[in-house]
């Protein structure tokens, strides 16, 4: 369930500074699915949370130095065991899409909700991740009715020259069929 402030009541809250107000008149009408692993192909959600909170210790891994200047965050993160963590209220813009476009509209952060899955393009996602993703997607679609089945995309769909996630290991058929919409 999503409260009037845009916070999911079933999520652990970890407010990130990497967000902004949505532009006047912008309505949530797109859901973007991402993946992340830090370091790449390692699934420790603590590093990911630290990254979204701008508190990642860059001395831990050489890869962390490469991303230390980035300030990003999704709205929601789903861990490998299905745990749900929220970083930004759904009524606000999270900085998850970067340079992006969908159906002629640029800057998808202005009108989208971003959900990250702990994972990698070529590693299967867990059953618990799909279960949580389906449940959260239903909640989003109820609260933001402009988000329809045709307006659920991968990061690769809105930034095809830069991004590949959620990758070939994401089972779109399984996910969309489970939504029953």
Candidates 14, 83, 116, 161; catalytic one: 116
Verify whether residue 116 is a known catalytic residue: yes
Dump strand ranges (E) for the chain: 12-13, 19-20, 30-36, 76-78, 84-86, 93-94, 101-102, 105-106, 112-118, 152-154
120: helix, coil or strand?
A: coil
Tokens of 126: 């867990």
Of 174, 73, 77, nearest in space to 117 by CA? 77
Which residue numbers are catalytic?
A: 116
């Amino acid at each position: 369930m999503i409260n009037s402030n845009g916070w999911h009541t079933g999520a652990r809250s970890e407010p990130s500074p990497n967000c902004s107000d949505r532009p006047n008149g912008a309505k949530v009408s797109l859901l973007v699915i991402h993946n992340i692993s830090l370091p790449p192909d390692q699934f420790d959600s603590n590093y990911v949370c630290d990254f979204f909170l701008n508190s990642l210790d860059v001395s831990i891994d050489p890869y962390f130095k490469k991303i230390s200047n980035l300030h990003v965050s999704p709205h929601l993160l789903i861990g490998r065991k299905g745990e749900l963590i929220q970083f930004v209220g759904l009524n606000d813009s999270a900085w998850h899409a970067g340079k992006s476009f969908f159906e002629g509209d640029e800057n998808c952060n202005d009108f989208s909700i971003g959900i990250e899955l702990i994972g990698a393009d070529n590693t299967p996602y867990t059953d618990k991740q799909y279960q949580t993703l389906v449940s959260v997607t239903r909640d989003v679609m109820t609260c933001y009715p402009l988000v329809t089945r045709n307006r659920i995309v991968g990061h690769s769909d809105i930034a095809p020259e830069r991004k590949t996630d959620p990758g070939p290991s994401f089972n779109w058929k399984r996910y969309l069929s489970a939504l029953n919409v």
